[in-house]
Structure 1
Amino acid sequence: MRIGDIPNKIVDFFKEVGLEIKKVNWPSRQETIKYTLIVIGVSLAVALFLGGLDIVFQYLLNSFLLK
């Protein structure tokens, strides 16, 4: 590969990227909102669960080991 070919290869790469982007099956706005709410809900549930475990272990540690 010659150094002079590099700009052409870069242009070809971005043309191919554009073609591939057109092939993507993008989700609808409704689907995006639904999945976003699911992710937020699951994240909150996991955070509450881990926070609850932290409180329980902190209580146990303070009650039994750190007297």
Structure 2
Amino acid sequence: MSLDDLNRQQKRMLKRQGALDEQGAPTKAPRQSAPTQRVGPVQYLREVREEMRKVAWPTRPEVVRYSIIVTVTVLVFTAFVGGIDLLMQYVTDWFYL
């Protein structure tokens, strides 16, 4: 994105932030982020294990409850779509035969 692509409000905001001088020229180059350090596989797995311990896992009753809700919802929508399909089959059979 060049400065020509910015509207007046965006240029004013950049001037207030100090990124543009009074003539509208950039005052400083954008900061580059520091390169990230790579870690080995063992350190990676340690960090994964630490993060997994922080996760709030659902209890067994919650998993059972949510599984029942999902199963019932899928069955209801399957019956609904199947009913519409059957209705459309009857309509098209009546219309074309």
- Same fold flag (TM > 0.5): yes
Calculate the TM-score normalised by the size of structure 1.
0.83
Structure 2: unaligned runs, 5 residues or longer: 1-37
Q: Which residue of 2 aligns with 1:15?
A: 46
Calculate the TM-score normalised by the size of structure 2.
0.58
Match of 2:58 among 17, 21, 27: 27
Q: Which residue of 1 aligns with 2:71?
A: 40
Whichever structure has more helix as a proportion of its residues is 1
RMSD of aligned alpha carbons: 1.4
- Could you give the per-residue CA deviations for residues 8-53 of structure 1, whole angstroms, max 9, x where no partner exists? 6111111111001100101111111100000000000000000000
Larger Rg: 2
- Structure with more relative contact order (C-alpha pairs < 8 Å, separation 6 or more): 2
The percentage of aligned residue pairs carrying the same residue is: 35
